[in-house]
Amino acid sequence: MAQIILDTLIGHFKSGEIIDTGSQHGNEWARVRRDAWLAVATFLRDDPATAMNMMSDLTAVDRFGHEPRFDVVMHLYSIDKKHRVRLYGGVPEEDPTIESVVSLWPAVNWFEREAFDLYGVRFKGHPDLRRILMYPEFVGHPLRKDYPKEKRQPLIRRQMGKAD
Amino acid sequence: MDQSIAPTSRRVVLGVSEPTDDALDAPDLPTEPMPLNMGPSHPAMHGTVRMVLDVEGEKITSADVQIGYLHRCFEKESESATWTQVFPYTDRLNYVSPMLNNVGYAIAVEKLLGIDKQIPERAQFIRVLVGEMSRVTDHLTCLGAGAMELGAFTVFLYMLKAREWFYELLEEVSGARLTHSYMRIGGVCDDLTEDFVPRLTDILKRTRVVLEDVSKLLDRNRIFRDRMDGIAIITREDAIAWGLTGPVGRSAGLAYDVRKDHPYLVYDRFDFDVPIGSVGDNFDRYACRVEEIKQSMRILEQAMEQLPGGPVVVKDPRITLPPKSETYNSIEAMIAHFKIIMDGIHVPPGEIYSFTEGGNGELGFYLVSDGTGRPWKCRVRPPCLPAVQIMMKLLPGLFLADVVPTFGMMNMIGGECDR
């Protein structure tokens, strides 16, 4: 169904930017090398065969125990061709950065902020990378698998004994 | 009055050489930008959202929309719940159209399991029926609340009266007005009530009368039109670039409806239209939603006509709980019941992005399974998040009073935006 996207990608990127492709449960996906993230996304948006003009979703997955630890997952959709693709960008824990695609689709601004807030992945070139769901003084990145759910956060409880 | 002070001070303040009557209107009074905080607890904000606005007089110069005040850790909690235990969490996402969230999640898990073609037909029709009822309640709430904020309190009461009829019927079917948890993986939890079809037919007739009344009150109402026409226009290119789907995207001219473009369940058997707007202003968003209610009612009537008999859940012992008569009388069924509840349904490892048409647009569920009975990741793609995001671009240049109808017509549901 969306095999044409994968074929176009493999045909265009010849120096190993596309690490792997596949199709599962009707979803076509491609694993992209981290430094080619913006280049591949730009190509997918501008090439007339793929024409992925809408960014559906961007999030991250914590593959705890695997290398690289985080996968930035982006779902792209083409309004005209009605096909979708999922892109994976592997991001290691020591250097959790990847390029921001906010220059291609303005919609991705808050999605990248959320991935930063909940996973700690930094997006290079993002105009306003700050927390979106958590309050600014929050410590840590909650959706990581090693985030201690039971531990208390600072600032969530009034100080006892102090006058209001 | 001390004559020596008054003329001089007025001269300095007003900047005119002699105090005249016109000067009392203060045309040269200096203004400076003022930060104004709307929310998070504000009567005109649907759900908890905070807008930090910079205003010059009444004109907004910049807007910072801050969400996250209703973040209840849906994803984190889903990671420690079994696949079926996530259903109550999905209810609380878009809490005015909960059946649509339930349906979206159930379809996603069924695709991962590979049983999405084996869901019994009656279950699919029931899903369409209750899903479209939820869509109607979503739009009725949005329009009623939006009209109330502009002063049309009667419209609010009429629409909520209509909404209550739907909620009553959904309560009979599922047991709760809002937090239905009616879907199960493989079908629905229980069959419809016996008088569902005649009740729903009667409700649809009465709702059409309500929509007529509301239309007479609002459609050519000078105040309503002046406050909604031409405000916060979104172009089709903007809608695509900013990821807008659903009524907001369609009112901007973007012809994308998941039910038509990628039909799921039995939507391809029904004859219905999808309203597309031309201008993309607030009034178009209002008109699109009214028309969508009417189209949903068409789908409901056709679905009731074509409703087949049969089972309401797929008969697979690894997925469905055995019927209670067997559970209490045979040890095999009791063990199967125990395993499914305690371990969860074992979904084979894999990932899927499954999308349906929620009340606000493309509701996507991105599920990652590691083979156990609990999700590794259960992500919701919220359809109203792009709509709230584009507010940061739309608000500068509008007046402060325009924030209210603009935000109302975006239909930001706090539960869905913040999850």
State how far residue A53 is from chain B, nearest Cα, in angstroms: 7
Over residues A61-70, the mean pLDDT reads 90
CB pairs under 8 A between A and B: 83
Q: How many percent of chain A have pLDDT more than 90?
A: 55
State how far residue A54 is from chain B, nearest Cα, in angstroms: 6
Please identify among residues 43-72 of chain B the ones whose CB lies closer than 8 Å to any CB of chain A.
Answer: 66-68, 71
Asked if residue B301 lies in contact with residue B320, where contact means CB atoms within 8 angstroms, the answer is: no
Enumerate the residues of chain B whose CB falls inside 8 A of the CB of residue A134: 68, 71
Domain of residue B21 covers 1-29
User: Based on the domain organization, do B23 and B165 belong to the same domain?
Assistant: no
Nearest residue on chain B to A45, judged by CA atoms? B241
Asked whether residue A68 is assigned to any structural domain, the reply reads yes
State how far residue A47 is from chain B, nearest Cα, in angstroms: 16
Asked if residue B257 lies in contact with residue B250, where contact means CB atoms within 8 angstroms, the answer is: yes
Enumerate the residues of chain A whose CB falls inside 8 A of the CB of residue B75: 118, 143
Please identify among residues 96-155 of chain A the ones whose CB lies closer than 8 Å to any CB of chain B.
Answer: 105-111, 118, 131-135, 142-143, 149
pLDDT (0 to 100) of residue A135: 87
Asked whether residue B58 is assigned to any structural domain, the reply reads no
Enumerate the residues of chain A whose CB falls inside 8 A of the CB of residue B379: 57, 59
Asked whether residue A153 is assigned to any structural domain, the reply reads no
CATH of the domain at A47: 3.30.460.80
Look up residue A109 and give its two tokens: 């601004």
Looking up tokens 């607890």, which residue turns up?
B41
Q: Is the minimum CB–CB distance between A23 and chain B shorter than 8 Å?
A: no
Would you tell me the crossing angle of helices B282-306 and B196-218 to the nearest 10 degrees? 160
User: Based on the domain organization, do B18 and B104 belong to the same domain?
Assistant: no
Over residues B90-111, the mean pLDDT reads 93
Asked if residue A112 lies in contact with residue B389, where contact means CB atoms within 8 angstroms, the answer is: no
Q: How many percent of chain B have pLDDT more than 90?
A: 67
Would you tell me the crossing angle of helices B196-218 and B121-149 to the nearest 10 degrees? 30
User: Based on the domain organization, do B4 and B126 belong to the same domain?
Assistant: no
Strand order in the sheet with B375-381: B350-357, B362-369, B375-381
pLDDT (0 to 100) of residue B20: 52
- The residue count of chain A comes to 164
ipTM of the complex: 0.91
pLDDT at B19 over 70: no
Strand (E) positions, A63-155? 70-77, 84-91, 97-99, 122-124
Asked whether residue A50 is assigned to any structural domain, the reply reads yes
Asked whether residue A150 is assigned to any structural domain, the reply reads no
Residue partners of B310: CB distance under 8 A and separation at least 6: B120, B121, B122
**Using the beta-carbon criterion (under 8 Å), do A73 and B366 form an inter-chain contact?**
yes
Please state the domain count of chain B. 2
Model confidence pLDDT, tens digit, residues B209-252: 999 999 999 989 999 999 999 899 999 999 999 999 999 999 99
DSSP secondary structure letter of residue A5: H
Please write down the long-range contacts of A6-14, taking CB distance under 8 Å and 24 or more positions apart.
A6/A30, A6/A85, A8/A47, A8/A49, A8/A50, A9/A40, A9/A43, A9/A44, A9/A50, A12/A43, A12/A47, A13/A39, A13/A40, A13/A43
pLDDT at B6 over 60: no
* Closest residue to A54, CB basis, from B240, B368, B377: B240
Look up residue A110 and give its two tokens: 């808050």
User: Based on the domain organization, do B10 and B109 belong to the same domain?
Assistant: no
Asked whether residue B209 is assigned to any structural domain, the reply reads yes
Please state the domain count of chain A. 1
Asked whether residue A141 is assigned to any structural domain, the reply reads no
State how far residue A16 is from chain B, nearest Cα, in angstroms: 24
Asked whether residue B204 is assigned to any structural domain, the reply reads yes
The rounded distance, in Å, linking the Cα atoms of B69 and B75 is 16
Domain of residue A33 covers 3-124
Asked whether residue B64 is assigned to any structural domain, the reply reads no
The sign of the dihedral angle between the CA atoms of B71, B76, B77, B78 is positive
**Using the beta-carbon criterion (under 8 Å), do A107 and B242 form an inter-chain contact?**
yes
Nearest residue on chain B to A83, judged by CA atoms? B262
Enumerate the residues of chain A whose CB falls inside 8 A of the CB of residue B68: 131-135
Over residues A104-119, the mean pLDDT reads 93
